Amino acid sequence: MGIPSRGTVARGVAPGRLVAVAGKGGELVLWRLSDGTIEWRIPARSEEGQAARIAVSGDGRRIALLAFTNVDTAIRVFEVHRRRALTRLTLPGTDWHDIALNGDGTRLFISHEANGLFATAVDAPGTPEPFGASAAGCTGRIEWRAEKQMLACSTQEGIRHVRADGTDGPVLTTPEVSDRWIAAGSVTGGITAAIGSGHLLLWR
Q: Is residue 8 part of a domain?
A: yes
Number of folded domains in the chain?
Answer: 1
Amino acid 163: pLDDT: 92
Q: Is residue 15 part of a domain?
A: yes
Q: Is residue 187 part of a domain?
A: no
Q: Is residue 23 part of a domain?
A: yes
* Residues 98-125: tens digit of each pLDDT: 999 999 999 999 999 999 999 999 998 8
Q: Is residue 113 part of a domain?
A: no
Q: Which strands, in side-by-side order, build the sheet including 84-92?
A: 50-56, 62-68, 72-79, 84-92
**pLDDT higher than threshold 80 for residue 183:** no
Q: Is residue 54 part of a domain?
A: yes
Computed on alpha carbons and rounded to an integer, the radius of gyration of the chain in Å comes to: 16
For residue 175, cis peptide bond before it (omega within 30 degrees of 0):
no
Kindly report the pTM of this predicted structure. 0.90
Q: Provide the domain limits for residue 67.
A: 1-94
CATH number, position 18: 2.40.10.480
* Residues 61-72: tens digit of each pLDDT: 999 999 988 889
**pLDDT higher than threshold 80 for residue 162:** yes
Q: Is residue 186 part of a domain?
A: no
Short-list 20, 18, 17, CA closest to 8: 20
